[in-house]
Amino acid sequence: MVQLKTLAVAALEAAAVLAAPSPSPQDYNSQLAGRGNTPSKRPNHRVFPFHPGKLFPPSPPRQKTCYVKSKGKGRDDSENVMDAIKKCNNGGHVVFEKGTTYTVGKALDLTFLKNIDLDIQGTIQFTNDTDYWQAHSFKHTFQNATTFFQLGGSDVNVYGGGTLDGNGQAWYDLYAKDIYILRPILFGTIGLHGGSISDLNLRYSPQWYNLVANSSDVVFSNIDIRGGSQSKNPAKNTDGWDTYRSERIVIQDSVVDNGDDCVSFKPNSTNIVVQNLNCNGSHGISVGSLGQYQGEVDIVKDIYVYNITMTNASDGARIKVWPGLSSALSGDLQGGGGLGSVSNITYDTMTVGNVDYAIEITQCYGQKNLTLCNQFPSNLTIKDVTLKNFKGTTSKKYDPLVGYLVCSSPTVCGDIRLENIDVRSPSGTNTFSCGNIPGMDKQVNCTVAAGTGGSTSAPP
């Protein structure tokens, strides 16, 4: 008994020494709160096999440790979280303890972070006070996106094996009554320059799971995303990741089970690598939608998507661009007439199973009348797109079709290559619906999409 106690104390001291070489008196109290809980070692996930080119900035070791206290019983821990983070900013390591649930009921502005590790071993659950969050969540204008918190700054590592829980059920049920409510995004990476986010479970997000905006040099690894509704009201718009105004972002080695895009590249996403993902139930890995806002210029370029398994999804690879005229897809989704370009996009190696379209390219997004779309071609061009090494089977939904390749005009779309596409429908066909993409019928079996004038082989 005595011996055991001594050993435990010795282990605690050893851990404290390792984590905090020179604890100051005020650190001592916060270390006591962490009794029996050792800081995690920062993981070292390799960016592999593809890389956005430039080396990521280095992240020096941290020199002090702060433990986040929990009030328990669902009481709001927002202040404790903020206190620990402020105390350990500029060179420290913040531990959210294993086995502890932290309740967060306040919008946390964490854009001041610098040289800090957030070691989330426990669970952080956001309250489901839908009135509070609609009033106080961070508003990002683009697509009316809002977030529970915004994490930004430089040199930030988040890891620990724990969970962020968006407590989404109240939101799924409220959205069913009113599509105009502002549902927060679970994880807001806003203005982060240099950092890693890994080894986390993301659960029950009210809307998208991740928004990565105004950020650069951020690597996401080993993220497990799932959730869903317990009621008859589905969890809608639960994209895995959306990138916006960001460059040199890597998303890798992760599992997503959701009901909307697995990953989506929104306006001004450049130099992005997505690799080794297993996506289930999603709308695919999507460029766009783009060109939604009249007069705005959307650029998406230099994207590499590699080694994706896509099951039970509406799409595998998808590029969706609005046409030149305005149209409404639904009350809360309308647009068209935006400017810009999609270029240098590669989808390499994808296995599909029970996916409606293995590949879908549309420049008539939101406009079902293709004749009308052709009359007002998109102001956002698509060029230099490679899709290669696809295999698997689509769903019955569009059988005999396995994909859809329709632009608004050959003058604003071209240089699209499909190579080694070994995808079949359940009935064994491999036909694509094609329109306005010059040369496509030389690459795959095409059937001409109605209303497109059949210009699949005419040069631009």
Per CB under 6 A, 144 contacts ligand NAG: yes
Residues 70-109 that bind ligand NAG (CB under 6 A): none
Q: For residues 87 and 266, which CB has a smaller minimum distance to ligand NAG in the complex?
A: 266
Q: Per-residue x/- mask for ligand NAG, residues 194 to 223, rule CB under 6 A?
A: -------------------xx---------
Ordered alpha helix ranges (H), 63-168: 78-88, 130-136
CB of 29 to ligand NAG, least distance (A): 29
**Residue 91 C-beta-side C-alpha neighbours within 13 Å:** 6
Residues 34-73 that bind ligand NAG (CB under 6 A): 53
C-beta of residue 382 within 8 angstroms of C-beta of residue 416:
yes
Q: For residues 53 and 459, which CB has a smaller minimum distance to ligand NAG in the complex?
A: 53
Per CB under 6 A, 329 contacts ligand NAG: no
CB of 272 to ligand NAG, least distance (A): 8
C-beta of residue 359 within 8 angstroms of C-beta of residue 439:
no
Question: Dihedral through CA 239, CA 358, CA 329, CA 342, nearest 10?
Answer: 80
CB of 120 to ligand NAG, least distance (A): 18
The residue from 146, 167, 238, 425 that contacts ligand NAG (CB under 6 A) is 167
C-beta of residue 356 within 8 angstroms of C-beta of residue 396:
no
CB of 296 to ligand NAG, least distance (A): 6
Per CB under 6 A, 257 contacts ligand NAG: yes
Q: For residues 80 and 258, which CB has a smaller minimum distance to ligand NAG in the complex?
A: 258
Q: For residues 65 and 189, which CB has a smaller minimum distance to ligand NAG in the complex?
A: 189
- The phi, psi pair for 308, rounded to 5°, reads -115, 135
Per CB under 6 A, 143 contacts ligand NAG: yes
The residue from 238, 276, 351, 456 that contacts ligand NAG (CB under 6 A) is 276
- Give the whole-angstrom CA distance, residue 182 versus residue 168: 12
Q: For residues 140 and 320, which CB has a smaller minimum distance to ligand NAG in the complex?
A: 140
**Cα distances (angstroms) measured from residue 232 to each of 75, 166, 177, 235, 422:** 29, 19, 12, 10, 37
User: Crossing angle of helices 78-88/25-33, nearest 10°?
Assistant: 140
Question: Stretches 30-38, 153-161, 192-200, 272-280: which one binds ligand NAG (CB under 6 A)?
Answer: 272-280
* Token pair belonging to 4: 């055991």
Question: Dihedral through CA 336, CA 342, CA 346, CA 352, nearest 10?
Answer: 0
Q: For residues 260 and 302, which CB has a smaller minimum distance to ligand NAG in the complex?
A: 302
The residue from 63, 90, 154, 280 that contacts ligand NAG (CB under 6 A) is 280
283 is catalytic: yes
- Give the whole-angstrom CA distance, residue 168 versus residue 258: 13
The residue from 245, 283, 318, 320 that contacts ligand NAG (CB under 6 A) is 245
- Using CB under 6 A as the binding criterion, the count of chain residues that bind ligand NAG stands at 47
CB of 379 to ligand NAG, least distance (A): 4
Per CB under 6 A, 311 contacts ligand NAG: yes
CB of 5 to ligand NAG, least distance (A): 37
The full 3-state SS of 341-392, as one line of letters, equals: EEEEEEEEEEEEEEEEEEEEEECCCCCCCHHHHHHCCCEEEEEEEEEEEEEE
Strands, DSSP E only, in 27-105? 64-68, 92-96, 101-104
**CA terminus-to-terminus distance, the chain:** 84
Per CB under 6 A, 302 contacts ligand NAG: yes
Per CB under 6 A, 128 contacts ligand NAG: yes
Q: For residues 27 and 298, which CB has a smaller minimum distance to ligand NAG in the complex?
A: 298
Secondary structure (3-state) at 421: strand
* Token pair belonging to 148: 């529970």
**Cα distances (angstroms) measured from residue 437 to each of 140, 303, 312:** 35, 21, 28
- Give the whole-angstrom CA distance, residue 312 versus residue 449: 25
Residues 371-400 that bind ligand NAG (CB under 6 A): 371-372, 376-377, 379
Residues 6+ apart with CB under 8 A from 353: 309, 310, 311, 312, 392, 393
Active site (catalytic) residues: 283
- Binding residues (CB under 6 A) for ligand NAG: these are 53, 128, 140, 142-144, 167, 169-170, 180, 190, 213-214, 245, 257, 267-268, 276, 278, 280-281, 297, 299, 302-304, 307, 309, 311-312, 324, 332, 337, 339, 344, 346, 353-354, 369, 371-372, 376-377, 379, 430, 444-445
